[in-house]
Amino acid sequence: MITKPGVYDLPMAEYHADPCPEPSLSSSIIRLLCSASPLHAWTAHPRLNAAYVAEESDRFDVGTAAHALLLEGDDTIAVIDAPDWRKKETQAARDDARAAGRTPLLIAQYESVAVMVERAREQCGAHEDAPIPLANGRPEETLIWQMAGTWCRARLDWLHADGKTIDDYKTTSASANPAAWSRTIFGGGYDIQAAWYRLGVRELLDHDAAFRFVVQETEPPYALSVIGLSPDALVLAEKKILYAFDVWRACLKDGRWPGYPTQTCYADLPPWEEAAWLAKELA
């Protein structure tokens, strides 16, 4: 357990189990408080929900594997020399790898991810704006801090050596074109993530940091783009954080984690639905 605010190098499992003295607030919990309900946040929190189980999947996740290989290197990967996961000994090797905190990959999967990671390094190296994305820094740094007596945590994909730029690596099976992926930022609550990480750096390092998403497609040619948030987007994200912060503190104090409204809610008629029907009547 960590009892002092600071920047730490923690295993992924320890971070996700919440190493703080009390249940702490993270960007993923803030997103649930803003987009769903306190009940959803309670359910997803390992220190509040005794039945919480971290999700593991036999499904090959390109993004997870590329993330591990690009940011932390081969030591985080366990390559299994088999064509599939059908045999019991292959499944046992996979489970042993997970228990050791490593990402299990079949050899063909590893070869595919290795190409994707190499393309990512090439494109980051050709980026025109300093600093070069995902270079000259430290991966997977954990920030632990307190605000108004509330414990907070964040796990940064990449913190540059001077502490003034944060890079967050995302993968997508859709498009990494900035015009397309920018819409994903707000739907996925990634604006909250950006503002939260910046807040953690400000609290612990006493300076502002730039935040960039490094977004890569999971299919050839593995195109990559680097996307930041405008000042007005960050201001709105900070307002969302303040809202969630107040809700979190109230729920912890009262021990109540409400779900959706208990009154009947009524859906308004969308203008486009009415317009579409009027066009049909006039046809």
User: Given this model, what pLDDT does residue 252 score?
Assistant: 96
Please indicate, yes or no, whether residues 108 and 189 belong to a single structural domain of this protein. no
**Which tens digit of pLDDT belongs to each residue from 107-156?**
888 999 999 999 999 999 999 999 999 999 999 999 999 999 999 999 99
Please indicate, yes or no, whether residues 202 and 239 belong to a single structural domain of this protein. yes
Domain assignment present for 1: no
Domain assignment present for 48: yes
Please indicate, yes or no, whether residues 148 and 244 belong to a single structural domain of this protein. yes
User: Given this model, what pLDDT does residue 210 score?
Assistant: 97
pLDDT interval class at 56 (50, 70, 90): low
pTM tops 0.85, yes or no: yes
User: Given this model, what pLDDT does residue 12 score?
Assistant: 86
In the listed set 106, 126, 146, which residue is the last one of a domain according to the structure? 126
Q: Which of 164, 270, 153 is nearest to 212 (CA)?
A: 164
Please indicate, yes or no, whether residues 81 and 167 belong to a single structural domain of this protein. no
In the listed set 126, 158, 173, which residue is the last one of a domain according to the structure? 126
Domain boundaries, position 80: 62-126
Please indicate, yes or no, whether residues 173 and 212 belong to a single structural domain of this protein. yes
**Which tens digit of pLDDT belongs to each residue from 19-45?**
999 999 999 999 999 999 999 999 999
Please indicate, yes or no, whether residues 204 and 111 belong to a single structural domain of this protein. no
Report the domain count for the chain.
2
Please indicate, yes or no, whether residues 202 and 244 belong to a single structural domain of this protein. yes
